[in-house]
Amino acid sequence: MIEVAGAAGAVAAACGFAAYAVRGRSSAFFAPSVYHGDRSRATLALTFDDGPSESTPALLEILGANQVRATFFMCGHNVRRLPEIAHEVAAAGHEIGNHTDTHPRLDFKPPEFIYREIADAQESIHAHTGTTPALFRAPYGVRWFGLRRAQERLRLTGVMWTVMGRDWVLPADRVFARLIGGASGGGVLCLHDGRALRPAPDVGSTIDAAARAIPWLKERGFQFHTVSEMIGPRQSISRP
């Protein structure tokens, strides 16, 4: 009985470590990443995943009205579908990161598949925005074998998050509550201006929550920076 309990405990521990290695925001097992800046400073980085989409311009208006620059992690497929909007994001002065080409989960994928997903997105983003991303965010926050080498080859820094808005499933009020409740110095806030590769997605909860949260946080002394501005060159190449 003791041996069975010990074996069960070992299995549970192994499963727990595997889950942390794959999706833990501070995990560097598969590839180094950052998920916060200087915690002693009242700064935040607002990030958007899965775009661009037909609703991205509405978010650009909100950001412009509040004089906030954000970081957009774009999918190559969506960039090719909406190149004018992708270019508009860059022209507005926002930072652009890589979110793979077709938004797959990377676990259990071979290294060459992972590399091609990221490299194809890198090429499309550069072709349509003139920007070569320096940052990468894995879809669903899932990392896997081969990602470290892909990031090294493409000179990309992995980025996770401090606060996940869950705006793809939650109404605006709850997204807003998550953002203001979790915001802290050096925090990275994650929202979505798209819904994977879906054309014309409904991102109303994202738009409404961002429109409320940005001025609320600014009124309480937070300053917004892009991820690269907040983490700085030294942190951008180090593990958290």
Confidence of residue 237 (pLDDT cuts 50, 70, 90): very low
Peptide bond into 52 cis (omega under 30): yes
pLDDT on residue 3: 62
Give residue-wise pLDDT tens across range 171-199. Answer: 999 999 999 999 999 999 999 999 999 99
Please check the confidence at residue 217 and state whether its pLDDT lies above 80.
yes
Distance CA 139, CA 43 (A): 25
Does residue 150 lie in a domain region? yes
Residue 90 covered by a domain:
yes
Angle CA 234–236–240, to nearest 5: 95
Is the per-residue pLDDT at 234 higher than 60?
A: no
212 domain residue, yes or no: yes
pTM: 0.91
Average pLDDT over residues 105-125: 98
For 10-65, write each residue's pLDDT tens digit: 445 556 768 899 999 989 999 999 999 999 999 999 999 999 999 999 999 999 99
Examine residue 98 and state whether it is found in any structural domain, yes or no: yes
**Mean pLDDT, range 95-124, rounded to an integer:** 98
Give 44's strand partners: 187, 224
With pLDDT > 90 as the criterion, what percentage of the chain qualifies?
A: 86
Matching residue, tokens 């409404």: 208
93: containing domain: 26-235
- Stated length of the chain: 240
Residue 182 lies in a domain: yes
Average pLDDT for 153-173: 98
Averaged pLDDT of the chain: 92
On whether residue 5 sits in a domain, the answer given is no
Residue 34 lies in a domain: yes
Which pLDDT value is given to residue 240? 34
- Report how far residue 67's alpha carbon sits from residue 224's, in angstroms, rounded to the nearest whole number: 9
Q: Which of 3-7, 40-44, 182-186, 234-238 has the lowest mean pLDDT?
A: 234-238
| pLDDT value of residue 207 | 98
When divided into structural domains, the chain yields a total of 1
**Pick from 92, 112, 113: nearest CA to 104:** 113
Confidence of residue 239 (pLDDT cuts 50, 70, 90): very low
In a domain, residue 19? The reply is no
Inform me whether the pLDDT recorded for 235 exceeds 90.
Answer: no
Rounded to 10 degrees, what is the CA torsion of 10, 17, 168, 95? Answer: 180
Q: Cα separation of 204 and 31, whole Å?
A: 33
Question: What pLDDT is attached to residue 16?
Answer: 72
The CATH number linked to 88 is 3.20.20.370
- pLDDT of 102 higher than 70: yes
Residue 133 has pLDDT above 50, yes or no: yes
* DSSP class of 139: G
> pLDDT higher for 32 or 6?
32
